[in-house]
């Protein structure tokens, strides 16, 4: 039986560089060799940036090149912008694609995080728009959540499966080092950045009912959004240190007067948030430690795999080699 050729990422920049060619062999050795060749041909990054609603590009990014990176899990949301900020090599991805064309439920979270791993990033600075569930969290303020509540039901949230079982510890779902970097960066640029809080991740695309919004408030949740939990789960499996900067755009529907808020007002807040987020990210990139070995994310998968190594299918081994090959 013929095996499907593995989709190994290679370079496909608009500058005309050739895409890495991948052998169609099914054997693990041939696929891994092609993968290594593809990575050697591709520029690398140390810090990943995922921009959410209102943040579709990065100001101050120099020496920019565009790279389309196919993965074993399909295509990421958009081409990656690789370049330099504050002397650090970064990879930027617009979460919803250019023109904001991808629904939260349609996002290929696995491809996005796999591609970040392929590029060599050790940390991810994630930015997203959220609604506030507490009156003290005002529009234009930033929250740096340290916990999540999962209210999604139609998404892939793990790299495991297809013959390999793994369980990652997720009690503390974000990296404290990256969260501290975000908080320090907010203080540096003079914007309100509150460290800690609970992010409710809902399926969407509809917003909450008032009953749901009040339920989440009764749980003590701080903000509500539609995207960050899957990223956090997959980044932890991929041993990438991850944290999110949640930009408050408005109060959720529990708030009296919520319905009086106009689209124009929300858009104005998003523009202000985007400008502030650009400043915070720039400062965070500069402050990010080059050595993240103390981050719990960096060895998160060390004892995760439960499957007898001899029982893992060869095709699954090839697909997950980048992520877990050192633990086979």
Active-site annotation, residues: 250, 252
Question: Token match 């009296």: residue?
Answer: 256
Determine the Cα–Cα distance for residues 219 and 120; give it in Å rounded to an integer: 38
Instruction: Give the number of other CB atoms < 10 A from CB of residue 103.
Output: 12
Exposure pattern of 234-260 as b/e (b: 16+ CB <10 Å)? bbbbbbbbbbbbbbbbbbbbbbeeeee
């Amino acid at each position: 039986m013929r095996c499907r050729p593995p989709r190994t990422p290679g370079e496909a920049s608009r500058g005309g560089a050739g895409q890495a060619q991948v052998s169609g062999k099914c054997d693990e050795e041939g696929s891994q060799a092609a993968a290594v060749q593809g990575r050697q041909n591709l520029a690398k990054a140390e810090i990943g940036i995922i921009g959410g609603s209102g943040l579709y590009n990065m100001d101050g990014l120099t020496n920019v090149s565009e790279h389309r990176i196919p993965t074993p899990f399909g295509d990421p949301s958009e081409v990656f912008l690789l370049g330099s900020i504050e002397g650090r090599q970064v990879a930027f991805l617009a979460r919803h694609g250019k023109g904001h064309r991808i629904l939260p439920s349609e996002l290929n979270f696995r491809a996005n995080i796999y591609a970040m791993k392929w590029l060599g990033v050790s940390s991810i600075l994630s930015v997203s728009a959220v609604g506030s569930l507490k009156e003290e969290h005002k529009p234009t303020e930033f929250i740096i959540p340290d916990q999540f509540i999962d209210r999604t039901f139609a998404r892939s949230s793990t790299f495991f499966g297809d013959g390999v079982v793994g369980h990652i510890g997720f009690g503390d779902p974000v990296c404290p080092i990256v969260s501290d970097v975000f908080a320090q960066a907010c203080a540096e640029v003079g914007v309100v950045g509150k460290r800690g809080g609970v992010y409710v991740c809902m399926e969407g695309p509809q917003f909450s009912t008032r009953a749901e919004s009040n339920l989440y408030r009764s749980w003590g949740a701080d903000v509500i959004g539609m995207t960050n939990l899957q990223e956090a789960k997959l980044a932890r499996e991929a041993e990438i240190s991850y944290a999110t900067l949640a930009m408050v755009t408005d109060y959720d529907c529990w708030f009296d007067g919520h319905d009086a808020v106009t689209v124009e007002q929300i858009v104005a807040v998003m523009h202000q948030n985007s400008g502030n987020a650009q400043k915070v990210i720039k400062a965070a990139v500069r402050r990010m430690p080059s050595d993240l070995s103390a981050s719990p994310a960096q060895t998160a998968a060390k004892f995760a795999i439960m499957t007898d190594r001899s029982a893992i299918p060869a095709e699954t081994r090839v697909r997950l080699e980048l992520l877990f090959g050192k633990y086979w």
